[in-house]
Every structure is written in C-alpha cells, then in structure tokens.
Amino acid sequence: MALVEICHIYISRGHNFVGHHGLEPDDFPMIEVPTVECVAGRGLHGDRYFDFKEEYKGQITFFSLEVFDELCSALQVARIGPSAVRRNVFTRNVDLNEFIGRDFEVQGIHFYGTEESRPCDWMNRAIAPGAKEFLKGRGGLRARILTDGTLHSTAQIPEQVG
C-alpha cells in the first residue's frame, strides 16, 4: 500500500448537526491540530466522537483533499476551508473507498474502514447548495481505530494566541 499523506487533522469538542434535525446547528468549531492521539475502540482524544457509542463505526473519519478541491471548484465556493465538511483527517493521493470493509494502516496505526461517510443534508448549508449531491460516493471514510498511536499532519499550523 502506498504511503498515506495526512494534510490536515481536525477535532471538535461538540456536535453541530448530530441530533439537530429540525433545529438550528450548534457552533462548535473544528480545530486544526498538528497531531492527534488515536485510542483503539474509543476514537480521537479530544474529539466529539470519543467514547460516543460502543463499537461506533465512525471513531475517525478520513476525507480526500482532492475531492474537497473538486467540490469547491464545481460549486464555485471560495474562502471555505476543509474543516467545513467536518471530517477528522484529510489525505492526499489515496482512494479512500478502497478501504471500505478492509483493515488498513496509516503512520503505524491500524484501522478498519467501516463505510463511506455519507454526506447529509447539512452539507448544502455548511458548504453550498449541491454539496450533498456532489459528494455522494465520495463523502469520505468512516473507520474504527484498532490500535493506539498518534497521527501527524504535514500542515503548518499557526500557534494559537491566548
């Protein structure tokens, strides 16, 4: 398997859309971090899905940076960052759908790809009308974390002041 490049890593302390059907979303930001601790069977330390449910199939989510760029171009969206799709790990040069139903490894950590992280109706609001339809079949990957470890991003993240 080719080396998977991690371009960005995001976590959020709370849910903006889960459990909000018919209601306004919350306003928990996605925070870019240079590293994140993966805890087997539990999720990403500090993220909203950490210990969310036993055997939860979305303990971590992956998304293609190329798909994000195509989405922005197709919908003519500017000034929006990858965090808008609310996925955890952004990769480059890998077909994430190939990992559905398979074990795979990234930076020495083992995962199991459970399913596509299907886009929902909120995508049209968070990104632009048409986002949900555009992302069908390319919404990213949900996975379970099989071994503990730390993922590292290649992004240059400015230090937070305050």
In a domain, 21, yes or no: no
In a domain, 61, yes or no: yes
The band of 29, judged by pLDDT with boundaries at 50, 70 and 90, is confident
Least confident of 11-15, 46-50, 62-66: 11-15
Total number of domains in the chain: 1
Question: For all residues of the chain together, what is the average pLDDT?
Answer: 88
Give the 3-state secondary structure of 93-162.
CCCHHHHECCEEEECCEEEEEEEECCCCCHHHHHCCCCHHHHHCCCCCEEEEECCCEEEECCCCCCCCCC
In a domain, 22, yes or no: no
CA 97 to chain centre: 14
In a domain, 116, yes or no: yes
Q: Is 65 helix (H, G, I), strand (E, B) or coil?
A: helix
In a domain, 23, yes or no: no
pLDDT given for residue 155 in this prediction: 75
In a domain, 74, yes or no: yes
What is the residue range of 47's domain? 5-11+31-152
The answer to whether the beta carbons of residues 147 and 105 sit under 8 Å apart is no
Can you tell me the distance from the alpha carbon of 130 to that of 1, in angstroms, rounded to the nearest whole number? 33
Closest residue by Cα to residue 1 from 138, 88, 96, 115: 96
The band of 18, judged by pLDDT with boundaries at 50, 70 and 90, is low
In a domain, 85, yes or no: yes
- The CATH number of the domain holding residue 106 is 2.40.33.20
**pLDDT per residue over 85-107, tens digit each?**
989 999 999 999 999 999 999 99
In a domain, 161, yes or no: no
Can you tell me the distance from the alpha carbon of 94 to that of 81, in angstroms, rounded to the nearest whole number? 20
